Amino acid sequence: MLNSTVLMKPLESKRILVTGGTGSLGQTLVRRILTGELGMPAQVTVFSRDEAKQHYMRLEFMHRETATDDVIYQNSRERLNFRIGDIRDYPAVVAAIRSADIVFNAAALKQVPSCEYFPMEAVLTNVNGAANIVRAVRENDLPVKKVIGISTDKACKPINVMGMTKALQERIFVEANRDLPEVHFNCVRYGNVIASRGSIVPLFVDQIRKQQPLTVTLPEMTRFLLSLDRAVDTVFEAVKSEGRGLTFVPKVASAKITDVAEVLMGETKLPITFTGIRPGEKVHEIMVSEEECFRTVERGDHYVILPVLPELRDGAAVENALANEYSSKDGNIAGEELRKLLMQSGDEIAKFMT
């Protein structure tokens, strides 16, 4: 169940594999790992299928000279390497994991409309990719001790293909704990990352710069909002835990998308155009469902959902941290509070707003 033991330096001298490591979350995760805040790893390998993204990430991490980032860039030269491969390709996954102690699975198809139009592609990456990791560990006596699956709020009560496939990824990793007792499989589930590629905030910034109307799907639309670093905090919370089959959820703010648009505009007044809900899109996101509340506990700045399979829980009484579902429709922030959150979400957004 939820083991209270927390490892303070779980990455010390470990060999780490980050699948999908060239994505927004993956790059921030790699940067934070290389600071050594959870211990200095022996090696960090970025595994992805996009050679162009790997090339530019390599340049950014290994050749940029910035005095304040000496630790990261020196560690990049010594510890960071790149491997071309596809999470869908089982032999490539086996080869990549063969020399890993800890795996962070950030590989995903995550654009909601794209997954609606190409559902089998989402299955191949989000479901089969997770299954390939589990199979590789199970069938090849690999040294892996921890696997952290990166999920999404859309996996909770899913209505779209992206959420459905991520929900299955969560179940695949949780179930893997049953017959692989020496390996800890945990997940993290979080909401809209403010500055990530494809999120609404960069789109609004671009529209404001071009003096275009801001496009919002519906007036009622709400979302959880968190920075990339807050997302990584949640991933780190999961890797520090000695529990198994757990899903970590950050306590974060939520807001109406129209309020996000208004705050970003500031003194600039542009019209907001309502375009209608997109294929597979939710009006409100949920990170913990009513059904999960009875097995959700509190740990500092996070909620922790205990395994759905009872044999992975120890049967001890649980003091429920939530009485109702954890939804973005509740407790929305606006005005100055929302402005402060957006200002903290990344240098580019902060520079735009000042």
User: 8 in a domain, yes or no?
Assistant: no
User: 7 in a domain, yes or no?
Assistant: no
In 131-250, beta strands by DSSP E: 146-150, 184-188, 192-193, 214-216, 222-226, 247-250
What residues contact residue 330 under an 8 Å CB cut-off, 6+ apart?
254
Position 67 scores a pLDDT of: 47
CB burial of residue 67 (10 Å; 0-12, 13-18, 19+):
exposed
Position 124 scores a pLDDT of: 98
Please name which of 320, 301, 314 lies closest in space to residue 3, comparing C-alpha atoms: 314
User: 2 in a domain, yes or no?
Assistant: no
User: 197 in a domain, yes or no?
Assistant: yes
* Per-residue pLDDT tens over the stretch 316-331: 778 889 999 999 999 9
User: 31 in a domain, yes or no?
Assistant: yes
Tokens of 176: 């893997």
Sheet-wide strand order for 253-256: 192-193, 222-226, 253-256
Position 345 scores a pLDDT of: 81
Query: What stretches in the chain show pLDDT beneath 70?
Result: 1-5, 63-73
Position 70 scores a pLDDT of: 66
User: 4 in a domain, yes or no?
Assistant: no
In 52-145, beta strands by DSSP E: 80-84, 102-105
What residues contact residue 281 under an 8 Å CB cut-off, 6+ apart?
112, 113, 160, 217
Domain at 154, CATH number: 3.40.50.720
Residue count of the chain: 354
CA–CA distance, 83 with 49 (Å, rounded to integer):
8
Q: By residue range, what is the domain housing residue 316?
A: 15-353
Position 66 scores a pLDDT of: 53
pTM to 2 decimal places = 0.93
Asked if residue 225 lies in contact with residue 192, where contact means CB atoms within 8 angstroms, the answer is: yes
* CA–centroid distance for 91 within its chain: 25
Backbone angles phi, psi at 151, to 5 degrees: -110, -160
Tokens of 213: 């109307």
User: 9 in a domain, yes or no?
Assistant: no
Asked if residue 12 lies in contact with residue 44, where contact means CB atoms within 8 angstroms, the answer is: no
Position 3 scores a pLDDT of: 54
111-120 exposure pattern, b = at least 16 Cβ within 10 A, e = fewer: ebebbbeebe
What residues contact residue 236 under an 8 Å CB cut-off, 6+ apart?
32, 37, 38
Position 338 scores a pLDDT of: 95
User: 1 in a domain, yes or no?
Assistant: no
In this structure, are strands 286-288 and 326-327 parallel, antiparallel, or unpaired? Answer: antiparallel
**Count of domains in the chain?**
1
Which residues are tagged catalytic?
Answer: 154
* Per-residue pLDDT tens over the stretch 104-162: 999 999 999 999 999 999 999 999 999 999 999 999 989 999 999 999 999 999 999 99
CA distances from 79 to 232, 255, 276 (A): 20, 39, 47
